[in-house]
Amino acid sequence: MPWSADQVIPAIKNKSLELRQLFAKVANAALAKGQSEEEAVFAGLSAVKLAEKKKTEKAVVEKPKLPSHVQAILDLKKQAPIQQVNTDSGKISQAFLGKNALESDSDRSLVSAVWDKNGRLILTFDDGKQIITDPVPVSEHIEQFVTVSSETANELPESYDHVQFNLLSESLGAVGRLVWNEVDGTLDLGLAGGNVTLQVGQEQVVHIYNNTANAFTDLQVVRVTGSQGQRLTASLAQANSELTSSATFAVVTEPIAKNQEGFATTSGMVRNVNTIAFPEGAALYLSPSTPGGLTHIKPQAPNHMVLVGWCVRSHHINGSVYVHVQNGYELEELHNVSINSPQHGQVLKYDSTAGIWRNQEDQSSADAPETNAVFTYNSQDEITRIDYSSGNYKLFVYNTDGDLSQLDYVKGSLIYRKVFNYTSGVLTNIVDSVLSN
């Protein structure tokens, strides 16, 4: 089941909102990873106990202490504003000190503040004296305030070596917040609206506008219909026609009311959806019968085959789907096929000169052997008709010179015709065609 701060196990329902939120976050992450509900509960409880232990360890401290480097400056009774902080990468206008930790004083100015390789902060003043703090444990967080204005912007470093996120962070996601995601091994970025969390580098989403008459729901498949207000407009896709399937491009990843914007996933995971109807690992296709729907049964022609992705976890609430839309092709969309006004009964024939396949009439039926032929002749003893036991027949037409000028093979509803052209009594070419009887 999905957990929330208001829906937790009895053991922690009376704990603080922060701890209940932590339990829900860790338990749901375990479910998304494919663990059982029992394993998810255990993971959530472990996270809560660890958080409580950390709080208890902090509580035994008799009196909160200022960071050692701030306390050292205050003890000297020579508080001075930070005029400049030198680092390997540039200059900033504040040091790694608490806000308002130092007050103005004209006797002394801090000219540099740097960390050494042992984790000690070295403060150097304009009189040449230094203050060297004790090493700061990795687990401690030192507050940094950087004020940027038009006057100080030029003092900021042009580049930084790196930004290191806390891999054991217990912070909850929020709009505009980057948090390390231990389960997926990447950063989570909370997107606008608070419903969608982007796993950086592992998925892509697009902001779409629903200009249809109905709301979109999670896991519905959509196609591009145009644009409005700098957003692509979308409608539910369906695999029953070229029009409703050819522009399929994304899966809805949050509810989107009509005439509203929302996010859809073009590549990556869609989580916490009902996938109980699909086997895990199964390929998922655009449904030909349900607008916006999915099916694990491959559609057959004349329906269109659009691969939408794969079922990662089959679950009625915490299911997940990996999206990777691959639209099928019409025959005439292939780069080495040229279809011109297709007709019933035509076949493809390879044109070696052009290097492409072309559609043309099927001549093979005209050459099929027949039996029990009955011949009819004219007064010049020329064959004018041949009737076969199958009901098919051939008609012979001659020109004034007595040469065969046309041969019609009538077979069912089709006439396979050969026209013989002569120049000065010499056969120059034969033209084949297929007509309706």
pLDDT digits (tens, 9 = 90+) for 9-47: 887 888 888 888 888 888 888 888 878 888 888 888 888
Using CB atoms within 10 A of its CB, is residue 323 exposed (0-12), middle (13-18) or buried (19+)? buried
Residue 158: what pLDDT?
Answer: 61
Beta carbons of 263 and 205 less than 8 angstroms apart: yes
**Three-state secondary-structure class, residue 385:** strand
Cis peptide bond prior to 369, omega within 30° of 0: no
> Identity (one letter) of the amino acid at 57?
E
Q: Is it the case that residue 92 has pLDDT exceeding 50?
A: no
Residue 78: what pLDDT?
Answer: 42
| CA distances (Å), origin 151, targets 93, 94, 270, 433 | 10, 14, 45, 84
**Three-state secondary-structure class, residue 197:** strand
Residue 118: what pLDDT?
Answer: 66
Per the structure block, which two tokens stand in for 412?
């069912």
pLDDT over 70 for what percent of the chain? 77
Cα 9 vs. chain centroid, distance in angstroms? 34
Indicate the pTM of the whole model.
0.53
Residue 220: what pLDDT?
Answer: 97
Residue 411: what pLDDT?
Answer: 83
CB atoms within 10 A of CB 366: 19
Question: Checking phi first, is residue 195 left (phi over 0); if not, alpha (psi -120 to 50) or beta?
Answer: alpha
Mean predicted confidence (pLDDT) in 122-147: 60
Question: Checking phi first, is residue 401 left (phi over 0); if not, alpha (psi -120 to 50) or beta?
Answer: alpha
Mean predicted confidence (pLDDT) in 234-251: 96
d(CA 431, CA 419) in angstroms, rounded, equals 5
Q: What is the pLDDT of residues 96-121, one digit of tens each?
A: 443 333 444 445 666 677 766 666 77
What's the number of CA atoms in the CB half-sphere (13 Å) around residue 139?
4
pLDDT over 90 for what percent of the chain? 36
Q: What is the pLDDT of residues 360-415, one digit of tens each?
A: 877 665 556 677 788 898 888 888 998 888 888 899 999 888 889 999 988 878 88
| CA distances (Å), origin 73, targets 65, 100, 120, 153 | 14, 13, 15, 27
Residue 363: what pLDDT?
Answer: 65
d(CA 11, CA 34) in angstroms, rounded, equals 23
Q: What is the pLDDT of residues 189-233, one digit of tens each?
A: 999 988 899 999 999 999 999 999 999 999 999 999 999 989 999
**Three-state secondary-structure class, residue 260:** strand
Q: Are strands 260-273 and 294-295 parallel, antiparallel or unpaired?
A: unpaired
- Mean pLDDT value across the chain: 80
Q: Is it the case that residue 139 has pLDDT exceeding 60?
A: no
Beta carbons of 213 and 224 less than 8 angstroms apart: no
pLDDT band for position 84 (cuts 50, 70, 90): very low
d(CA 88, CA 83) in angstroms, rounded, equals 17
d(CA 294, CA 302) in angstroms, rounded, equals 17
